[in-house]
Chains A and B, each alone.
Chain A
């Protein structure tokens, strides 16, 4: 089974791009799709209706979405494999932008919007610097010069990233992406690892405790007059 992890901020065109990929491959291979989101997601229903493929979604709710992603990905890969999937696409909401959901196998793809701002690639840290491929969307809305300036900015964050530009609604210029997916090696689920170590904030605040002050919390605690408590981590 091939694996494609798609990440990027909301509304950049991840799902539009996913649709183009499904359109290209659905006649040849069996595709499964997983959406990881926080509060609400409709993509699984949309894609199932449009393409009749296997889809699933997970809400992270009070848990950090990247943390949730790491937790459920093992089960998800088993689920896809047990359904004889050839290409498993995982789409991640990507919210606080400190983590990246990419694995040491398969392809990691970041979607960036042309109009999201020139500093976005730098701000997004690991989500860009650990990706294999960057797809810049909505290119019909900006000039060629500005597109090249944005590409340069992405390259300065990640020199060896494979860069593609597209109008994801029409699916222009995606042949190279399709080639990369075709050529990507199948994954071995026994040796799957995260590419980066995510600084996941799985503390009591993240999971919903609203009290103010470090005395009420577990995890990494911080006092006003010091960087951290005497003990860095309170809890088990």
Chain B
């Protein structure tokens, strides 16, 4: 059981120690990592994904339930408690979608036959043009690849800690993401530039120069603002989907949404 993970400080780009003593994230918590590009956001979640033991460029240590992870936990995918959805929009493996899921399920020691169909079904909820089981993963579009990887992380990775790197760029519906945030006993960490996602998470880490600069907790005003932004976002979504489907945007549609 993963109750919590602890991040011990590393160094910023000028070799100065980070300002915090330790950051502990508990099961059921959602956290966002924000900051300018190049500030160390991806490096932060990569440290968690690799269960860094002072052997990454940042020098951070990651503890699970207060202890250093065993070698098995670090290196055996079947025991790894972490699934990360990276910014990758490309797969290089010369495999069909079905083979890809099957091999990954073997790596994660999942024997459920249904897993391939379930994962594909979930991926197809996120993407516009449907992915077929016989498609080669190498020919999928950027958005399809990300949908596939998100579904894979949720169902095959199925880990108690989920790391999501700029999921808003995936071209998927934010509503689905919000659902992930709400219905979980997992630790979920978002690297994000999206104000809605950032405001909806309980904790925010602000990055700069390769280090954590500040840790904020969501306050009441922010929680209200997030709800308002979410409504705007849904309205934007309606227009976006109409455009994508080839409809003309009418006066009625605009006034219904932005009146």
Query: Shortest CB–CB separation between residue A108 and chain B, in angstroms?
Result: 18
Given contacts A146-B92, A148-B108, contact A153 B52 (CB under 8 A): no
B50 engages A145 (CB within 8 Å)? no
Bound-complex Cα distance A175 to B52 (A): 10
Query: Shortest CB–CB separation between residue B221 and chain A, in angstroms?
Result: 36
Chain A residues with Cβ below 8 Å from B95 are: 118, 149
Chain A residues with Cβ below 8 Å from B94 are: 117-119
A173 engages B91 (CB within 8 Å)? no
Chain A residues with Cβ below 8 Å from B65 are: none
Per-position binary interface string of chain B over residues 78-93, scored 1 when its CB falls under 8 Å from any chain A CB and 0 otherwise: 0000111110101111
| B73-128 contacts to A (CB < 8 Å) | 74-75, 77, 82-86, 88, 90-95, 100, 103-104, 106-108
Q: Could you say which of B46, B77, B86, B153 contacts A152, with CB atoms under 8 Å apart?
A: B77
A145 engages B92 (CB within 8 Å)? no
Bound-complex Cα distance A53 to B92 (A): 37
B57 engages A145 (CB within 8 Å)? no
Q: Is A143 an interface residue when CB atoms closer than 8 A count as contact?
A: yes
B71 engages A143 (CB within 8 Å)? no
B149 engages A145 (CB within 8 Å)? yes
10 contacts between A and B (CB under 8 A): A118-B92, A119-B94, A140-B46, A142-B86, A144-B83, A145-B104, A149-B107, A171-B55, A173-B55, A175-B54
B107 engages A172 (CB within 8 Å)? no
B53 engages A149 (CB within 8 Å)? no
Q: Is B196 an interface residue when CB atoms closer than 8 A count as contact?
A: no
Q: Is B242 an interface residue when CB atoms closer than 8 A count as contact?
A: no
Q: Is B10 an interface residue when CB atoms closer than 8 A count as contact?
A: no
B92 engages A114 (CB within 8 Å)? yes
A145 engages B56 (CB within 8 Å)? no
**What residue in chain B is nearest A150 (Cβ atoms)?**
B93
Query: Shortest CB–CB separation between residue B33 and chain A, in angstroms?
Result: 17
Bound-complex Cα distance A148 to B78 (A): 9
**What residue in chain A is nearest B75 (Cβ atoms)?**
A163
Bound-complex Cα distance A114 to B56 (A): 18
A149 engages B157 (CB within 8 Å)? no
Q: Is B156 an interface residue when CB atoms closer than 8 A count as contact?
A: yes
Bound-complex Cα distance A145 to B50 (A): 13
Q: Could you say which of A114, A118, A151, A164 contacts B77, with CB atoms under 8 Å apart?
A: A151
Q: Is B152 an interface residue when CB atoms closer than 8 A count as contact?
A: yes
**What residue in chain A is nearest B153 (Cβ atoms)?**
A145
Q: Could you say which of A117, A149, A170, A174 contacts B104, with CB atoms under 8 Å apart?
A: A149
Q: Is A115 an interface residue when CB atoms closer than 8 A count as contact?
A: yes
Report how many residues on chain B are interfacial, defined by Cβ distance under 8 Å. Answer: 36
B: residues with CB less than 8 A from A are 46, 49-50, 52-57, 71, 74-75, 77, 82-86, 88, 90-95, 100, 103-104, 106-108, 149, 152-153, 156-157
Not counting A144-B82, A149-B103, A153-B103, a sample of 11 additional A-B residue pairs whose C-beta atoms are within 8 angstroms of each other reads A118-B95, A142-B88, A143-B149, A145-B157, A146-B92, A148-B77, A148-B104, A149-B93, A172-B52, A176-B71, A176-B74
Report how many residues on chain A are interfacial, defined by Cβ distance under 8 Å. Answer: 30
Bound-complex Cα distance A145 to B77 (A): 10
A144 engages B86 (CB within 8 Å)? yes
Bound-complex Cα distance A117 to B50 (A): 22
Chain B residues with Cβ below 8 Å from A171 are: 55, 57
**What residue in chain B is nearest A141 (Cβ atoms)?**
B88
Bound-complex Cα distance A165 to B95 (A): 21
Given contacts A118-B95, A173-B50, A173-B55, contact A144 B107 (CB under 8 A): no
Chain B residues with Cβ below 8 Å from A173 are: 50, 52, 55-56, 74
Chain B residues with Cβ below 8 Å from A164 are: 75
Bound-complex Cα distance A165 to B50 (A): 9
Bound-complex Cα distance A143 to B88 (A): 6
Given contacts A117-B92, A118-B95, contact A145 B75 (CB under 8 A): no
**What residue in chain B is nearest A174 (Cβ atoms)?**
B55
Chain B residues with Cβ below 8 Å from A176 are: 71, 74-75
B88 engages A175 (CB within 8 Å)? no
Query: Shortest CB–CB separation between residue A166 and chain B, in angstroms?
Result: 9
B100 engages A149 (CB within 8 Å)? yes
